[in-house]
Amino acid sequence: MSPALLLFSTQSTGEMRTRPRIGITMKVIPRQGGRSPQQALPTPYVEAVWQAGGLPVLIPNVPEAVSTYAEELHGLLLSGGGDVHPARYTSEPKHPAVYGIVPERDETEIGLVHFAIQRDVPLLAICRGIQVLNVALGGTLLQDIEACVPGALPHSTPDDAPARQHSVSLEPRSRVASVLGTTNLIVNTFHHQAVARPGEGVRVVGRAPDGVVEAVEVEKCTFVIGVQWHPELLSTPHDRLFVALVGAAGDFLQNKGV
Ligand SMILES: [Mn+2]
């Protein structure tokens, strides 16, 4: 074996098992002055998937290529970002607080969710991701928590401020509680929208003290979890969500052999 091949062989890194390929969706940063628009992803998502034993595969927002990408994946991670266009889930006018709409991202991610649900590809949806997951399955969102929930806790964190936190209560008999090993936890909070009416097959399994939805799962699927917080920025037990995703993706890889 040549040194180059040895470098890439699984034995040389001590890995007994092929890393499942975990697709991670990306944000679109708009054109600024003379700077081109960018497809980007915060590094903590990549690190969380790698440390959990997965192979991070970044998925650009190319709606026409959704199935081509999706067929190569063993797991999917929907990352955070701006808002889904309200026309995707309501006939009400767009609330002034809605920001950061990127139609090609909505199209790409909703397509990926449909693919994952149909093929039972393991899926972890984070922050914007839980909202995309719910909308893709026909559910609705609160366009702005502050405007829609009187007396709500602050759920958004101002730019460059330390992360706000709140507690979350999880349903005892939920996959999320089982993965995290607890029904009460402290989470960070960087969102101004939340799940309103759950989509088809979507079960609400976690709420903040003000009732805002913070975790969902799709029970008919082997592993489909959405969380409104950012586990990639938190320490244990939050890392278990990534370990569970990669574990389910490894089972998918073994069973489907793709
Ligand atoms: Mn929150």
Give pLDDT, residue 257.
Answer: 60
pLDDT above 90: percentage of residues in the chain: 91
Antiparallel, parallel or unpaired: β 75-78 and 55-59: unpaired
Instruction: State the pLDDT confidence band at 7, using cuts at 50, 70 and 90.
Output: very low
Query: How far is Cα 167 from Cα 252, in angstroms, rounded to an integer?
Result: 33
Give pLDDT, residue 211.
Answer: 97
Protein residues with C-beta less than 5 angstroms from the ion ligand 1? 155, 189
Type and span of the H or E element at 227: strand 224-227
- Mean pLDDT, all residues of the chain: 93
pLDDT over 80 at 101, yes or no: yes
238 C-alpha to ligand 1 centroid (Å): 15
> What's the rounded mean pLDDT across residues 99-121?
98
104 C-alpha to ligand 1 centroid (Å): 26
Spell out the domains of the chain, with CATH numbers in brackets: 19-256 (3.40.50.880)
Query: How far is Cα 227 from Cα 195, in angstroms, rounded to an integer?
Result: 10
Beta carbons within 10 angstroms of residue 140's beta carbon:
18
List the catalytic residue out of 127, 214, 221, 238.
127
Give pLDDT, residue 12.
Answer: 46
